[in-house]
Amino acid sequence: MAPADPVHPQPPGLSVEVAWSPRAGEVRVVALRLPPGATVHDALRRSGALEPGSGMDLSSCRIGAWGQPRDLADAVRDRDRVEIWRALRVDPKEARRQRSPRMPRGRR
């Protein structure tokens, strides 16, 4: 852990990021300071991800931190990255296959 900076002290609390992608090609990341004991739901609410204009519908999404599923009532830890995962609309392998140029038959 880095030593405390006496010139720019950190405010008390937890440092948390919330990341989500409201639509393909767009990613939003919001850095927050939350009080100790804050939950995943608190982080989502404070980040704006639950607002009507955020582009997210939590009924069809999953929530996690650092790639591991989490419940809304779970406590966040310092330096957590809370993530909202949208359902995939296209299989990633199929999308990659469609984007790649086709090779001539004899060159494989």
Query: Per-domain residue ranges for the chain?
Result: 14-102
Tens digits of residue pLDDT in 29-45: 999 999 999 999 999 99
3-class state of residue 59 by DSSP: helix
Instruction: Find out whether 107 and 91 touch, Cβ atoms under 8 Å.
Output: no
Given this model, what pLDDT does residue 14 score? Answer: 92
**pTM for this one?**
0.70
CATH class label, 14-102: alpha beta
Tens digits of residue pLDDT in 53-101: 766 777 778 999 999 999 999 999 999 999 999 877 777 788 788 888 7
CA–CA distance, 89 with 44 (Å, rounded to integer): 23
